Structure formats: C-alpha cells, structure tokens
Structure 1
Amino acid sequence: MKKVYYALLFSFLMLSSAEAQEKQTFAISNGSFLLNRKPIQIHSGEMHYSRIPQPYWRHRLKMMKAMGLNAVATYVFWNYHEIAPGVWDFKTGNKNVAEYIKTAQEEGLFVILRPGPYVCAEWEFGGYPWFLQNVPNMTIRGNNKEYLAATKAYFTALYKETGNFQITKGGPIIMVQGENEFGSYVAQRKDISLEEHKKYSAAVFQQLKDVGFEVPFFTSDGSWLFEGGALPGALPTANGESDIEKLKTVVKQFNNDQGPFMVAEFYPGWLDHWAEPFPLQKPEQTVRQTKKYLDNQISFNYYMVHGGTNFGFTSGANYNKEHDIQPDMTSYDYDAPISEAGWATPKYNALRELLKTAKTPAVPKQIPVIAIPNIDLTKTVDLEDLKSNITPIIEDKPQTFEQLNQGDGYVLYSKKFTQPINGKLELNGLRDYAIVFVDGKKVAELNRYYKKYDCEIEVPFNATLDILVENMGRINYGSQINANNKGIISPVIINGETITGDWEMYKLPMTTEPDLRPYKNSGKVNRPAFYQGTFNLSQIGDTFLDMRDWGKGIVFVNGINIGRYWSVGPQQTLYLPGCWLKKGKNTVVIFEQKNERLQTNLKSILTPILEDLKPEKGQ
C-alpha cells in the first residue's frame, strides 16, 4: 500500500514540476515587455467574441495567427452578460468568454483583456446595461456609490470567469486595461473637476485589483489626453498615434521617463454609420505604418483586425452637433484585414507578408459561401394584428423605454382623441426614429439622425394617433452617454398643446422572434408588417441577405436576430453565418417598418454590399 502511495505522490510531484516549467511569466520592467524575462514586442489584433458566432471563433483566431500576430485583444461587454439586474450569463452561445480565451490559448495567442466597465466600441450604450439608468442617484461613469457598487459586482462576476486564465495562473491573459479612453471623457466633461474624475478612475482601477486581477495593467487614450486618462501603476498607451517620437515623449512623461511603447488601438480601418459613406483605408497605408512600428520596437494592437457583426440590437451610436445621433451599422466590417465574413483581404495578405516568420502557419481555408436565389415569403401580418394581443401600459403621458422596463426594440404609442385637433406635431424628445399614423394611415416619418422632429397633422373626431418608435442604439461615445433614455422622452405637442391623458403603450422588444402562427395574411402597403417564409438547403454556407428592395427593419433567421437593415445604406446586405443555417428547412421572419410595397420574396448573394449610400427621400 505504501508503494502505491509513494508512486502516486511521485507522479503528482513530477506533474506539478512539469506544469511549473510550462507556466510562463509576463512583466513590464526596465522599459520593456518581458515574456519569460526576455523582451517581446506585442503584435496584437482586436477581435470581439460577441461579434462572431461561437462556432467560428477558432477559425478567426487561426486567421490572426496566420497573419503573424501573437496576441488577441478583446473588450468585455458588461451589458452582454448582465442580462437583467443581478442576472448573469457567461455560458450561452457567444457569451462564453472563458471558452473564447481558452481557444485563443490553444491557438497560441496571448490575450489582452479590456473589461471597461465602459468600452465604447460602437456597442449599445458603450457596454453599460440599459437598466442602470433606472437606479436612483446613479451617475454613469462617475464617482458615486451606486455606480461603483454596480461596477464592483460586474468585475466580481467577470473575474470568476476569467481570473484563472491570467498568465500568473498558467493562462494566456498578459494584460488588463483599466477603464477605457477616460481621458477623452474628462476632456468632454469640463463640468466635473479633474480631481473628481481621478477619484472615479482610481476607484475602478482599485476594484480590478481587489477582485484578483494581478497581471500588468494599462490605459489607452489619445496621446494628448493622458493627463485625464493615465493611472498610476498602469502603463499608458496611445491610441491612433502614428508619430513615433511623439508617442515616446508622452509615454515617458506619464511613465517614469521610460517605456515600453505601445499603440493599443492602431486603426487599419474605421467605424461605419448608417447614412454616411463607408470609410476605406488603402492596404499600403496600413503596411507602411506597421513597418514604422516594427522598425522602432513599438508594440501595437490592430483595432480591428476582424470586426465581425453587430447582431441583434447590439450596435450603438455616436453623437455630434451635426446629427443628434449617428447610429452604427449592423456590419462591423471596419475595413479590417479580416473581413466581416472572415475572408483574407488584400490588406490581410499584405500585412501577412510583412509580419510572417518561418513559424507562421498557413492561412486557414475560407468558410464556404452559398447563394439562395429565392426565399418565398408566404405570410405577411400587419402590426395592428399583434397589437390587438398585447396588453398596453396606460399612463397620462408617454413613458420612456426605461420607464416601461424595456431595453431594445420598439414601442407603439397610441392615443385616442375625442375631439379633433390640427397643427404641428412636435416630438422634440424623439429617441430615435418614428412613423406617425392617424387612424392607420401613415402621416410622416420623423428621425433623430436628420433632426426631423415635427410634421403637420390632422386628427379628426374620434380618431387614433399611433407613433411607432424605434430605439436605434444608445450612444456609446461622448458626453451624452448620461442622456441615453429611449422612446418619447418629452411631451408630445400638437398645435402648441401638450397631449396628455390615457396614452397606451405597446411594448415590442423583439428579443425573440414573434410567433406569427395565430395570424392570417393582413399586410398592407405603408403599414408596418411582419413577413414570414421558409427555404430548404441541401448544403450550408455563409451568405448575405440582399435587402436593397426593403425599407427599414430587422431580420430573424431560424429564430436569431441577425440585425438591422435600412435602405439609406451604405450597408445593403446582412451577413448570415452558415453555422446558423440547417440542411433542410430554414425559417425567416422580417419586421418591415416602412413597407412601401408588399414583398413576395427574398434572396441572398455571394458578396456583401457595404458601400451603396442612398439618402432618405426628402432629406
């Protein structure tokens, strides 16, 4: 028995010794990144697990490795995981961040974790859960106990999933970011003192350490914003900085007169908004800047190396003075080296030639692509039919999405008038897009992007006013992040009169595919409608739904919301991953808000259309 015991003990000690030998170290010391005590240059690419179907994670990580990269960076989207107050999901489908990190390690990539709590990323509300806005006394991104209690709960939940993947515990995580681009927020919020800003960022940074993150920390900001964003004990990195000497000067200024030097967001492309041109960057421009970094021992992270897709209602919006909102497109292609569908682009091939070594693996095979020539749409149902089966919430005045305890989708505001009223309808608090109907007849489209907040209206005796309002994505960047309620957020005014009394509100969150089985065909031109169809496949592959003949809405395929479409472009197709299709019968449901003509079919094509801009009529 003793022999067996000592044999087992010897085996355990040998195993522990082997594991200790395999465990790597990573540190920032003497002005360098050190891997196993030897200097290393980080060649990273940003890729977000939530924007790629889980079955494709490994393929995309292999694409990164074959490009010559040694690390992957990812934001963690708080609102992707806290799906209701105190309810966490780190396991379902794309939400399994631990599996993503594990897969990256298996593919030989280190991981740079960017947990926020604010992330920007052209993502809904910059990563914040919408319901934080309902917490009394909470100020988002501020030094107040309600907010800091929420961030602590988030970091605690995240650490349980990712903490053991730190390199100090044998995992691939080599660095963790403290906050995100906080210097730009400090610059925008001059109404708050720098001292108060610093108290907040220091508190969040301390929370990351308190829950157990122990690998080196860093911050990322524009090089001119370090004063507001840099944190003692975290390496400052400069986003988008192409001037090598400027990079080195500013990092030394805020890092004890030494490096290492890193550009945590090196942009090989740029983000895209609806109704605006699709920005492009020539491959040679990206290659030239990469070579400058390589020659000067500058570490970098391509933002994005692969953008992926804003499936469902995950896309956010920017804000500027010209447009009250700039909604982000469903496609997050970003003109990145790896396309939205995971293809090697000319930019990818050019960078691979620059970065590859003798050990760089071959480029993985492209996922098959198919075209579906015709999908018959056999049913169309007027929104009014679904409305009749929804119990409305009735209040004296219109309620916001948040007051209705709804995050995404649509709300139909309905008001019955017992007296006629004519004049200008004003929806100055529209968030974000509305179609106005009187007794079922379309009167106008109002739109926050075009700053169109009013229209002439005639409401006869005993008529009903319906206003269908769409949330096009909460603002993810800028000072307006604390003004992110959706729906109708101010009084409805007609002919100078505030309209109150018995507003009926029908919630249409569209978090799941609507069940159209109880309804008969009833779709009408210029009325919001649902379309349903089926199609059979003998083989599956990626494809792109052609939405050029449609107006505005969302598409479900096999119950999955694959995102928004809008005729203004420049995006005119929706990426449909083949891993979400089935051999045999597949289903599609489309919610078409404008419905300017009745549709009978839908098709898919082999290549995306992302550069076809068609401004709205009358704008």
Structure 2
Amino acid sequence: MKLVALTHLLLLLVLGHCGYARVERMVPGDPYTVGYSARGMLIDGRPRILTAATIHYPRSTPAMWDSLMQKAKRGGINTIDTYVFWNMHEHTKGQYDFATDRANLPLFLETAKRHGLFVVLRIGPYVCAEWNYGGFPHWLRHEKDIVFRTWNEPFLREMKRFVQKTVEVTRGFLPEHGGPLIAMQIENEYGDKEWRMGEDGHKYARWCGEVAGSFNLTVPWIMCRQYSDVDHVIPTQNDFYCDQYLADFHRKHPDMPDMWTEMWPGWFQRWGEAAPHRPIEDIAYAVAKWYAYGGTYVAYYMYQGGTNFGRTSGPFIMTSYNYDGFIDEYGLENWPKYLHLADLHNHLIDAEHILTASNVPVPERLGKNANAHVYGDDDEYESVSAVFRGQPYDLHRWSVTLVRKDKGSKPRHPASFEPLPASLLRLDEMHVRSVALPNKMAYHSETPLEQIELTHDTSDYLWYRTEITIPKQTPETLSTLTSATHMWAWRMAGHDTLATFTIDIPAHVLTAAPDSAPLTLLSQTMGMAHNQYNMEAYTRGLLGAVSVCGIDVTRNGWAMQPTLEGVKEDPPVPDHPSRYAIDLGSMTKGHVWVNSHHLGRYWTRRAPEKRDHRPCQVCDYGGWFWPDNVCRQKCGEISQQYYHLPPGYLDMDKSMLYVLEEVSGDPEKIAIVRRVSESPERHAPEAPEAAHGLAYYATWLAALLAASWALCRVYSLAVRRRGYQPIADQ
C-alpha cells in the first residue's frame, strides 16, 4: 500500500489517501498514555496524525465554547491548542481566578473532553498573542530588580509560581485521569530573544526545561521557536511555511516528532489597516507539504480568532481578532476555507496508519521543482500514467490525488451583517450630557509621572494638570510635548513608538485667559507592548520636557488622576441562539460595554484606499505569502465597524448598552445588527444552537454614556421592547 504526496513549486497537487477504512480516532475519556517518537505523538503507544485548532478561551465566551469545538471537530480537527493568559488569572498578585466567565480554564478543558478533542496547553506564561503586555500581569513590572524573560531571580520566582499553579489547576485533565491534555508548553518563541540576552538567555532557556521536567508529568513539554538545545522539551516551529525546517530538525532530533505549533492561516489587524487574507490554496499547499516532508502535527493559529474583549489587545491591535481563520469571531464558519481544509484533514487522518508507520521517505524527483513523497511499502503495487499540464505522473493503486484545477480562489461565501427590522425597535428617549474635568487629583509631583505606574493598567486614561503663566505677547502659540504617540493617537501615525509632537493652542484662548490658568492634558494608552524586549521597562504618558510658548513647564508642579475605569461587570445572562453586533460606524473612537461587560475599544478609522495600498491590488497565492505584501481586503473601508455582542452577555428582555465616545459621533445611528452566513449547498444545515431554535429580537434599554471632555459628548438613549418575533437562526 502506498500514499504519494506530489509537490510542485507552490502548487498543491496532492494529497491522496488509501482505500482502507478510516482508523477510528482515539478520544479522551478512559485513562490512556501519551509519549512521542520520530513519527508522531504516541497515544497508548500508537503514533497519531494531529490537526489542531487554536482557540483562545478568553477571546470567546463560555456560551460559545461548545459550538466552537463542535465545528472544529466537524472540520477534521482532533486537537485544541490554547495559551494560558497569566493576566487573566492573576490580575492581583496572589489572587487567582480560574473560574469566572472567560477565565474558566477548567470548563474550557472539560468542554474539549466532552467533544473528544485532545488539548495542547501552552502555559508560557509569556504568550505574545497580540495580547495586552504579552499576558504578563501589570504588577509584575513593579517587582524589585526584575528583568523579564532572562536569568533573573525575581522573574524566575514569579514565573515558576504561576506555572506551578496552572499545573495544579489542570492536573485533573491529564491522560491518567482520562483528560484531554497531551502536551504542555513552557515559554514562547524564545529562540530569537535568547541570543540577544547572551549567557543569561542561555541559562534561562535551560532553566525552563529543568522546571518543566521537575513536574514529572505524564505528558511531554514543548518550546516553540526554540533554537538551542534544552532538556525535557520538544522544540517546535512557528511560521507561514515550515517544511523547510524539517531536514535540519530530523538531523538534530532524530527521536522527536515534527510539530508545527503555529501555522498562520491569516494575520492580525491593526486599526486603520485593510483586512488580511490568506488564500486557501496556499494554506492547503503549506500544510500538505509539511506532512509530505514528515510532519505529524499542525496547529492553526488562529482557527477561530475571537474578540479582544475589554482592554486585552496589544498596542493598536483591533478589538476584532478575526485573523481570517476558519471560524469567525462570531462562531460562523468561514466558507470555503473551513470546508476546503476539512477535506485535507480527513484525507490525512484516513491515511494516518500509513503516514506514521513509515520512515520519512527521500523525495523522488519528478522534474524541475517537482517531487513525490512515497509513504508505505510496495505491496499490491499497480499504477496508471497520467499527464497534468504536460507533466506525467504515476498514480498508484487505491490512491486519491487532489489536483488544483485553475488559478484563483474558490467562490467565497462570506458572513455578513443584516439590520434588525425597524418594527422590532423603538427609540424612547435620548439624553446628552458632558463630564466635567476632574476637580480633585490623586497624585502630585514636581514633574509628570509615568502613566502605567499610576493607573496600574486599569484604565487607558490619565489626566495631567499644571498651572501655567500666560505670556503677555501671544502670537499663534503652541505647546511642545515629549510623549508616547498613544496620547492623542488619532492625530498621530498610529505606531507604538515614542515621539515628540505639538498641540496648537489658538491665540484667542490665551488672550482671553487670566495671567495664570490650569493646563490640563489627557494621556491615553491603547494596549501595552506584547512583543518587545525589556518589557519591564515599558513606559507611557508624559515622559519628557513640556513647554508652553517656549517656556519650560516640566518642573512646574503637576497633579495627575486616572479616570474612566469603566463599570462594574454583571454576571453572565442566559444564552441566546443568534449572533449580534453593534454597528458603531456613526461614532469615532472610544469604549463600549453591554450589561457592564466591557466589549472593548472601538475606532472607526479607515484603511488606505486601494490605489494607495499595493497589497489590496494583488492576491496571487503562487509565491511566498506575507500579509504586508499581498491579499489585503476592504481597502478604503472602516477597519472595524461592527463589535461583537457575544452569547452570555445579553439579556434578551432588557439590556444596557454603554458607549464612551472620545471625540464626536451620532448616537442615533448606532444600530444592533445580526451576523448571518450563507452556507454552501454541500454543507448540511446544523442543528439549532438552542433547544427552541429561535432568535428572540430583544428590546434594548440602551444608555450611551460617553464621557465627555473638550471634544466629547455624552449620550443616553433608550430603546424599548416591541414584543418579540420568532425568527429562524442562520
């Protein structure tokens, strides 16, 4: 029996499967064992082909987890991959939360177990992930003499303590208890940083392996993008393509499985960028080639990207973390990407016993840049000859060859938003108010203090105030500030860098002022660094000299006050079957809550027009993919107009909506819309996600509380119920 993989440049020609019956997948339930060999992770001693979906539990709500895993399994997935987010579980030092809402990691693992899915748990605890501060809690930077991610005693102490706590919380999900865990990860993508840190970096990497081994768990540990040798861990790969690393890996680690922990099927998006898109043909090509060259594990980062709720996103990263994955942030399949890769996964798993029983074959050259990778022995050999675009191939008995037919992607069936019928909503009232500047300030200093030191990362905002003397002669006047570009970020380039910039103060404002007057500034952050070096030294706010009309006021005496920390969160409410979003296209920039749940930041910044943005003009998968070069979509459009209202956060009888608008907008045009998807005909309709299978269009009592200063307004509006009408969900 043979399995043949044909690869030709960046053209997917293959992957076939044998005519034998599918090997029954082993799933968690009864106790089992986990190990590894050169041909894969061993489940009860048998090597497995593993296809993993990265789904981050804090980026969706518990009400969504069951459906997400059901759809992942239907898409040919047999493993779930997730980071563990330190700042979700230990926001205050020593106070752990592994049970509340999106922090309920045990419930997430139990859901995976119930669906018969394995889990790779990537503890880190540094995660990057375009997540606020890379997953580190804000208090960590205040530990005396700490330096992150190197041979530094304060960091080693705190990191080990959290890893140990996570192991304790998840121990009941290990395979000897019938749980889904088959591997854990320590650290994350340390290889590049290790060399910059010199000998302390090497010592730290080795220490990570020693800590992992000290737990004596029944599952292996991994370290992704780890280039130096570390005991007790399997080094793994992250990239858009990874087959190019395999020959060297086989030479250095002949007894270890080939694991691709982050296969990037799309990319994240910043405010004001066009939407990233990676063609399905290129993804399938990269994955098939990985398995052809000997790989046995692929995790799609992200399979379902989800939502950066609250203030969890990294600097200038959008609230939507859709990632052009296989399931969108609302939980709907991304057609045809979802189905196309499901076919490939099923072929691979059907042929698992052939792929894992054979050593990695030496490629047979078919022609220029074309190779065949033959798995299996020569029993019952029979072939026929075929020609594809002038290239002859021998197609072996009981094999299926998947051939790309023509250039270009298959027709897409993208999800879209539809408005709710006007008859179901009624605007009752609307209030407008302004929030005055703070009268009292909590902090006082000769010079402006660093922002995060004062806010403890509980708010994006910090007020600065000082008293200035008004010059008698006032031409067109300006003040010069040295600060992070987060301050008044919408006026800046939008990059996470430090800069010197100016703010114009109209002359008539100064001439109308008395001899002295308070100067009040609002500094704003938009997420803390998630992937820079020396993150413990990360700073924001007024960091340098401040002058007014050429007069230095840096040491003038300053008062400071954190502000706008949000509202107290309510407990989750009963689930609803439909998927909703808030259309904030009429607003500008701020934050949004529903029933006191912080949905995240919003910003209706537009992407560049197509004529100014080359990646929007080209989408040819026949070449190495890089998201900044090709296939961007929605040029000239608002980068994010719709904001996820997830299941579990909506009370379908009455819900409170809060909007904090920083600049200006038209709140009367804010709308609640529904996310819908047109499924391809080949896809059978899924069962309703709720027993009644109906969508109840809620009445909304929406209070739009937009804190207002300078340019801002406060809005309050009420939308009341007009009864409900059963509508079939899509």
Give the TM-score category using the shorter length.
0.7 to 0.9
1:467 is displaced (CA, Å) by 1.5
Gaps of 5+ in 1: 1-19, 318-326, 361-365, 436-443, 516-536, 610-619
Q: Which residue of 1 aligns with 2:631?
A: none
Q: Which residue of 2 aligns with 1:551?
A: 588
Q: Of 470, 477, 481, which aligns to 1:427?
A: 481
Q: Of 305, 309, 321, which aligns to 1:332?
A: 321
Q: Of 500, 520, 536, which aligns to 1:466?
A: 520
- 1:233/1:92 CA distance change after superposition, 3 Å: same
Q: Which residue of 1 aligns with 2:503?
A: 455
CA distance in 2, matches of 1:538, 1:136: 45
Matched AA of 2:245: L
Q: Which residue of 2 aligns with 1:271?
A: 268
The alignment partner of 1:404 has SS state of helix
Higher relative contact order, structure no. (Cα contacts within 8 Å, ≥ 6 residues apart): 2
CA distance in 1, matches of 2:221, 2:337: 31
CA distance in 2, matches of 1:98, 1:367: 33
Matched AA of 2:56: H
Based on CA coordinates, which of the two structures has the bigger radius of gyration? 2
Contact 2:585/2:604, CA 8 A, preserved across alignment = yes
- 1:52/1:210 CA distance change after superposition, 3 Å: same
1:146 is displaced (CA, Å) by 0.9
- 1:166-177 to structure 2, matched below 5 A, reads 166-177=174-185
- TM-score normalized by structure 2? 0.68
Matched AA of 1:506: Q
Deviation per CA, 1:557-581, whole angstroms, max 9, x where unpaired? 1101101111214112111114311
The alignment partner of 1:22 has SS state of coil
Q: Which residue of 2 aligns with 1:510?
A: 565
- 1:238/1:445 CA distance change after superposition, 3 Å: closer
Q: Which residue of 2 aligns with 1:404?
A: 454
Q: Which residue of 1 aligns with 2:306?
A: 308
1:425 is displaced (CA, Å) by 2.6
- 1:29-428 to structure 2, matched below 5 A, reads 29-186=37-194, 190=196, 192-193=197-198, 195-211=199-215, 213-221=217-225, 226-228=226-228, 230-240=229-239, 242=241, 244=243, 246-255=244-253, 257-298=254-295, 299-317=297-315, 327-345=316-334, 346-356=336-346, 371=420, 376=427, 378-384=430-436, 387-388=438-439, 391-420=441-470, 423-428=477-482
Contact 1:412/1:466, CA 8 A, preserved across alignment = no
CA distance in 1, matches of 2:271, 2:142: 29
- 1:480/1:146 CA distance change after superposition, 3 Å: closer
- 1:567-586 to structure 2, matched below 5 A, reads 567-568=604-605, 569-586=638-655
1:431 is displaced (CA, Å) by 5.7
More moved, 200-209 vs 108-117: 200-209
Matched AA of 1:481: M
1:166 is displaced (CA, Å) by 1.7
CA distance in 1, matches of 2:554, 2:77: 59
Contact 1:44/1:302, CA 8 A, preserved across alignment = yes
The alignment partner of 2:271 has SS state of coil
- 1:45/1:538 CA distance change after superposition, 3 Å: closer
Contact 2:576/2:648, CA 8 A, preserved across alignment = no
1:507 is displaced (CA, Å) by 1.3
CA distance in 2, matches of 1:46, 1:275: 26
CA distance in 2, matches of 1:214, 1:490: 53
Is 1:497 aligned with 2:558? Answer: no
Contact 1:431/1:448, CA 8 A, preserved across alignment = yes
Is 1:566 aligned with 2:635? Answer: no
Gaps of 5+ in 2: 1-27, 351-414, 606-637, 678-730
Contact 1:168/1:215, CA 8 A, preserved across alignment = no
Matched AA of 1:207: V
- 1:39/1:79 CA distance change after superposition, 3 Å: same
CA distance in 2, matches of 1:123, 1:172: 25
The alignment partner of 2:91 has SS state of strand
CA distance in 2, matches of 1:592, 1:123: 23
- TM-score normalized by structure 1? 0.79
CA distance in 1, matches of 2:167, 2:545: 43
Contact 1:397/1:491, CA 8 A, preserved across alignment = no
Contact 1:72/1:110, CA 8 A, preserved across alignment = yes
CA distance in 1, matches of 2:533, 2:644: 32
- 1:208/1:144 CA distance change after superposition, 3 Å: same
Is 1:599 aligned with 2:589? Answer: no
Instruction: State the superposition RMSD in angstroms.
Output: 3.2
Contact 2:194/2:202, CA 8 A, preserved across alignment = no
Deviation per CA, 1:272-321, whole angstroms, max 9, x where unpaired? 1112221101122222223323444422111110010000000013xxxx
Percent of matched pairs sharing the same residue: 26
CA distance in 2, matches of 1:445, 1:281: 31
1:167 is displaced (CA, Å) by 1.7
Q: Which residue of 1 aligns with 2:19?
A: none
1:546 is displaced (CA, Å) by 1.1
The alignment partner of 1:340 has SS state of coil
- 1:446/1:347 CA distance change after superposition, 3 Å: closer
